[in-house]
């Protein structure tokens, strides 16, 4: 049986490999298995949430208008789904986003 560490290693290898249809298909499969088998390890974002969600102060995009009034518990799974899809279909954009997110 393939363990979590092998799946994570395969995911990282595919993320850093050439962007081909075959690699994207493999990456999607690896991410699906990781999500299915280890979904209980997803972070919980409740800590520190004050209940105030006034996103209008950050801009007036369609996305920000759409999430107005939603809690982090509603927003983060949607953002995670979008970012995961980006990871599969546009790995370069995904890596650029993660670098920006982590300050790297």
Claim to verify: residue 38 and residue 7 sit in the same structural domain: yes
CA-angle at 42, arms to 85 and 71, nearest 5°: 80
C-alpha span between 97 and 25 (Å, rounded)? 21
Distance of CA 5 to the CA centre of its chain: 19
CA dist 94 and 13 (Å) reads 14
Residue 27 sits in the same domain as residue 49: no
Q: In this structure, are 23 and 61 located in the same domain?
A: no
Structural domain including 57 reads: 45-104
Query: Could you tell me if 15 and 53 lie in one domain?
Result: no
To the question of pTM greater than 0.85 for the whole model, the response is no
Return d(Cα 21, Cα 44) in angstroms, integer.
33
Q: 51 and 92: one domain? A: yes
Report percent pLDDT > 70 for the chain: 82
Segment 45-67 mean pLDDT: 67
């Amino acid at each position: 049986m393939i363990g979590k560490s092998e799946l994570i290693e395969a995911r990282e290898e595919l993320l850093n490999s050439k962007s081909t249809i075959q690699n994207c298909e493999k990456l999607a499969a690896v991410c699906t298995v990781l999500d299915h088998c280890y979904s209980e390890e997803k972070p919980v974002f409740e800590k520190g949430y004050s209940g105030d969600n006034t996103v209008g102060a950050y801009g007036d995009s369609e996305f920000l208008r759409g999430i107005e009034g939603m809690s982090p518990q509603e927003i983060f799974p949607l953002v995670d789904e979008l970012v995961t899809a980006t990871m599969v279909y546009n790995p370069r954009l995904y890596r650029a986003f993660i670098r920006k997110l982590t300050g790297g």
